[in-house]
Amino acid sequence: MAEAAIASPVRPALDAVGAGDKTSSLSAGQRLALKYFLVAMVLFVAQMLFGLLAGLQFLYPEFLYGVLDFNVNRMVHINAMIVWMLYGFIGSIYWLVEDEAGVELVGAKLANINFWVLTSAVAVVVVVYLVVQVGPGNKMSIWFINEGREYIEAPRWADIGIVVCMGVFFYTVAGTFMKGRWSGISGTLVLDLIALAGLYLAGMFYTTNLSVDQYWWWWVVHLWVEATWEVLVGCIMAWGLMKTLGARREIVTTWLYIEVAMMFGAGILGLGHHYFWIGTPEYWLGIGGFFSALEPIPLVAMVVHAVYDAGRHSFQSRNHPALAWLIAHAFGNFLGAGVWGFIHTLPQINLYTHGTQWTTSHGHLAFFGAYATIVIAFIYIALQRWRGDVWMSGDLADRGWKWKWSLALLNVGMLGMTIALLIAGYEQSFIERAIGGSTWAAYFEGQTQPWFVQGMQWRMIFGVVMTVGLVLLLWDFLTIGRGETRPAKEVHAPGPHVG
């Protein structure tokens, strides 16, 4: 057991957060999951904070100029996001692995050490980002400061550390399934993790040729976000639906396979929509346009799947906040990744929109809708168990106003931001590209148009709405289920291997 390893600085922190909680009733994997969730939420706060700073700089460019410049704030904003979502995924997998495998976590001690190594590395990387910021134009900067490639800025030493930590994580998860039992969900999950880790390697080299650089860079960025991450959340969504609704295993597993077939069927060659303008041959215009246009189909299927399951079980959920966030996931994924991706994926349109606020609009709603939502849902599932498997269906204390308001504020804030950015993006592609001919003068012409400026202002306002929602969400995490005496509602929870 991980009892010894858990006696570390995080234990008092967890105890403080969970005073009166049933920590000792949790398994080793579940306790580890809580630690990952804790760090994920710290990084979520960091993401929001640096997003607010970067958003303010669009409106007041002198704000923090020369101290924390836009490129630093934006890098921390997007890196904190990637890492907190990965922490959320790892936490979710550690949460479900023992239940799904039917045995205790293999290598729990190692997994704990791994958590500390990974978290220390993340902390060092962020401190260097903020303090050192940029280096001279040589390999040392790329190895030790930042790699300067959007989303995968982490310096090379950290890349190697991440790969090692992912290896340990993979060993503990796959080892647990091997010792226990396999299921359709766990099999898909483990294969997906191999692909996910393998793809990261495609981003770990330097080349002078920018076209080759971006070719492989997209293997990491696209094949993570639009393929392997989607399948990963499909796996944890399948488990989540069984646990919150008592959905039948054979139904969710079949749906999972359908989703994998459609997601990889469209998403792997959908990669081509990033190869329109980077120097790659013209056939990518056709291949990328066609397959990426199919990418929304599995996301539509997920909505059908979630609504069908929720309706089939008459919304008899044992965890209302979690179910609400799972539904937010299904719709957010469909709208953000599906619809917002589709609207500018055809090359005829993308020629005008690529590299404008359209992309920002899509990126915000897609990452939030597809990934933030499901991690939040999983944290609710974990909290319910941690607080003693208490009642979390309707009729909560205080009518559950905190979870309902945080759900509303976070989602309304994000939708508002997305629409504001889309309007700015329309304006930008019109003024800068269609009329102005894409010169620097045309770029700035677009940036000073009232519709663009107002778009940035509304983005800021809705960003603040989201921030309020986040504060409320964290408050709810600290309090939900406390003092609740009713046990969790019974749903038809099937055994792990029905049918």
Residues in the chain: 499
Q: Which is nearer to another protein, 285 or 306 (CB)?
A: 285
Q: Which is nearer to another protein, 321 or 347 (CB)?
A: 347
In angstroms, give the least distance from the CB of 329 to another protein: 21
The residues that bridge with 487 in the sheet, in sequence order, are: 390
Beta carbons of 399 and 495 less than 8 angstroms apart: no
Q: Which is nearer to another protein, 45 or 287 (CB)?
A: 287
Tokens of 287: 């291949």
Q: Which is nearer to another protein, 217 or 371 (CB)?
A: 217
In angstroms, give the least distance from the CB of 403 to another protein: 34
Beta carbons of 168 and 114 less than 8 angstroms apart: yes
Rounded CA gap, 437 and 430, in Å? 10
Q: Which is nearer to another protein, 285 or 328 (CB)?
A: 285
Rounded CA gap, 446 and 448, in Å? 6
Q: Which is nearer to another protein, 173 or 431 (CB)?
A: 431
Which residue in the block uniquely carries the two structure tokens 């005496």?
485
Q: Which is nearer to another protein, 116 or 430 (CB)?
A: 430
Beta carbons of 410 and 462 less than 8 angstroms apart: no
In angstroms, give the least distance from the CB of 202 to another protein: 10
In angstroms, give the least distance from the CB of 73 to another protein: 9
Q: Which is nearer to another protein, 180 or 234 (CB)?
A: 234
In angstroms, give the least distance from the CB of 413 to another protein: 20
In angstroms, give the least distance from the CB of 375 to another protein: 24
Q: Which is nearer to another protein, 8 or 359 (CB)?
A: 359
Give the contacts of 156 (CB within 8 A, at least 6 positions apart): 142, 143, 144, 147, 204
In angstroms, give the least distance from the CB of 15 to another protein: 38
In angstroms, give the least distance from the CB of 391 to another protein: 34
Q: Which is nearer to another protein, 32 or 417 (CB)?
A: 417
Tokens of 189: 């999950």
Q: Which is nearer to another protein, 107 or 234 (CB)?
A: 234
In angstroms, give the least distance from the CB of 389 to another protein: 30
In angstroms, give the least distance from the CB of 259 to another protein: 8
Rounded CA gap, 146 and 166, in Å? 20
Q: Which is nearer to another protein, 111 or 423 (CB)?
A: 423
In angstroms, give the least distance from the CB of 394 to another protein: 33
- Structure-derived torsion over alpha carbons of residues 155, 156, 158, 161, reported in degrees to the nearest 10: 170
Tokens of 343: 């609207």
In angstroms, give the least distance from the CB of 336 to another protein: 18
| Cα angle: 438, vertex 457, 327; to 5 degrees | 100
